[in-house]
Amino acid sequence: MDTEFLNVADYERLAEQALEPGPYGYFAGGACDERTLRDNVDAYGRWQLRPRMLVDVSEVTTETTVMGAPASMPLLVAPTAFQKLCSPEGEAATARAAAAAGTVMCLSTLATSAPAEVAAAAPGGRRWFQVYVFKDEGITRALVDQAVESGFEALVLTVDAPGAGGRRERDLRTGFEIPAGTGVPSLDAAFGGRSVTVSEAFAAMDATLTWPDLERIAGLTELPLLVKGVLTSEDAALACEHGADGVIVSNHGGRQLDGVPATLDALPEVAEAVEGRIEVLVDGGVRRGTDVVKALALGARAALIGRPVLWGLAARGEEGVTGVLELMREEIALALRLVGAPAPQAVAREHVQRAPH
């Protein structure tokens, strides 16, 4: 056991030392007063596990299926931008670590590596492509076409950034910009390779999208389409009605609209509205294996982690991402055993309750 890294927080401490203040603030920060950023983590303390005794857990597996295909655990790698600011190999290192761990990596539209590069780095891995729709849809279409040609399995449409990023005051204080020459294929196409602020990047996105557009975007490929950024029963129902194959309960890691519900608190409402018609996933605030089991009990098929992967990448490169994923897998397995569920599919609503005030 590596006693230097016993939990995700250990990786974050080293990552903060390794990163310059601008990039660290960009990755760690949230919108405005960062209430939602903190609440995403705190929400897991508002729910308690209800372990069931005398269940045969002599053999426990973390294996599951997500969007109809096998995954080694109910934990995926969320899309995060600009990973080469954490490590020179960026998304390629993350992709290799996710493939070795047997789980899905979701590549961001704002990645510092093109879809084809990521596919070449980890040809045997499972990959999804996260989509922002630019005002110049040719940029979006070119990236999606490359993802399809490179064997990506699904598209993840982020819907909570309609032409604007949240007011991220850490970035304003440090003057953070995506440095010229960093190599962000989508932004290079939109801005010609010059330095770009985060606000400028989001201003290039199409703010006119509505629910009927979901069907048009789904029609770009034959891949399944998940909608990321759903927090309400109303939008969950609309996602089902307009052809989504899955939803991800997400508030963008507390980086968009401050003051919205923590994703774990929103999850039961969304899962109830979906009624099993499509798969429900959740991100935001997951830091422990017990967090993943709570999410499963409240209706998620799997959870996604973003910042913990970045902390691993900044701290130790590919080895650090592998360390984070293996640590989380071990914690999930232990939590399943102790809660009395020999597999993720055995976790049920009875395994969780609201904590007393």
The candidate with the shortest Cα–Cα distance to 228, out of 258, 190, 256, is 256
**Phi and psi at residue 71, to the nearest 5°:** -140, 145
Helix boundaries (H) for the chain: 8-18, 21-28, 35-42, 90-101, 115-121, 137-149, 169-174, 185-191, 198-203, 211-218, 233-241, 263-274, 289-297, 307-339
Distance CA 36, CA 288 (A): 18
What residues pair up with 105 in beta bridges, in sequence order? 77, 127
The three-state secondary structure class of 49 is: strand
**Phi and psi at residue 90, to the nearest 5°:** 50, -130
Marked catalytic residue, from 242, 252, 351, 357: 252
Please state, in angstroms and as integers, the Cα–Cα distance from residue 208 to each residue in 163, 179, 211, following that order.
8, 29, 10
The candidate with the shortest Cα–Cα distance to 157, out of 75, 36, 238, 233, is 238
CA geometry: angle 71, 67, 340, nearest 5 deg: 55
Is 351 catalytic? The answer is no
Which amino acids are annotated catalytic?
252
